[in-house]
Structure 1
Amino acid sequence: MKAKISSLIMKLFGWKYIGDIPTVKKAVIIAVPHTSNLDFVWGKLAFVSYNVQTTILMKKEMFVFPLKYLLKSWGAIPVNRSQKESMTDQLAEEFSRRDSLYLSIAPEGTRRHRSEWKRGFYYIALKANVPIYLGEINYQDKTITCGTAFYPTGDVEKDMQKIKSNYIHSKPKHADKFSAGIKDN
């Protein structure tokens, strides 16, 4: 029932999911570009419409009454960004404990313009030995895709350039707030 309702909402607003859903049981899915709170809504609706449960990280300040109950039901995990604990190690361990886990992360880490992306998503995937799916939200065409699987090699600089190059021509909701962080952008 949730899948049908989610699919209907997307259709009513002109959005569609294109491409395949991951066939692996565990993956990090990056959501790029991230310039609006609506990115989460459209991404979540897209996955729910295919009965795919995703888990996301969200700053703890968003978990206020009554929103916190909705966010938790949608698989959101509150993150205290001021703590220096290794979230990367904790999440890599979470992958080993579960039979299935799709962790969706916005590597920009904010909705504001940022030329450098956070690399936690990369290290989580590397430590958990899972692929990174290069998801994209395209506001021009109103499409969402999970993208292709990228397997980290351990050469973070080279891998980040390859990953970012997929987003040079992205169409975010707010173009002035997005940068793939490479020279062609």
Structure 2
Amino acid sequence: MSGSAFHEFKIHYSETENFAVGDSVTSDFISAGGHLWIVHCYPRGMLEDDLEHVSINLELLSPCSTINTIFQVFLLGKDGVPSFSHEQKSVDVFSTEACIGGWDQFLERSVIESIYLSNGWVTFPCNIIVLGADTIAVPPSNIGRDFGLLLDGKVGMDVSLIVKGETIQAHRAILAARSPV
């Protein structure tokens, strides 16, 4: 099933000053494409290498086989206007084996604190798009049979060759593709 959801993930950033690496703030439950999701924000990063960055992850909570998604996160400026300067977008395949996607180093903390922090709050608008199963049925490849029907039939023949007094109908595109002349 396909579908999407938009969620404004607001974090009281100043209350995360004493967070350790790996501590997170979690969004409310988000329903998109018939599945349940949550967003995790790690203000001090997920791992020691991420300490100077904010990490953001999308987690699938619903059991599933395979789900193709597009996950987009951007920020609201101090004036409340969306800013796409530091937007991140990922295309992920979620399954029971891989139920988390996102970024270990979404954005440097110093950038968030100087540009996006407003009265102690930072807002990460998140867009989750769940792509359904392939919507275009792809027919099996029968190109040999199809070319045979094309050559046997007279439809679309646009060239006449006269060889030893006999007229032979042909397709200009096939002659061009197959002839060195």
Q: TM-score, normalised to structure 1's length?
A: 0.29
Hey, which of these two has a bigger chunk of helix by percent? 1
Hey, which of these two has a bigger chunk of strand by percent? 2
Q: TM-score, normalised to structure 2's length?
A: 0.30
Q: Which has the higher contact order (CA 8 A, sep 6+)?
A: 1
Structure with greater Cα Rg: 2
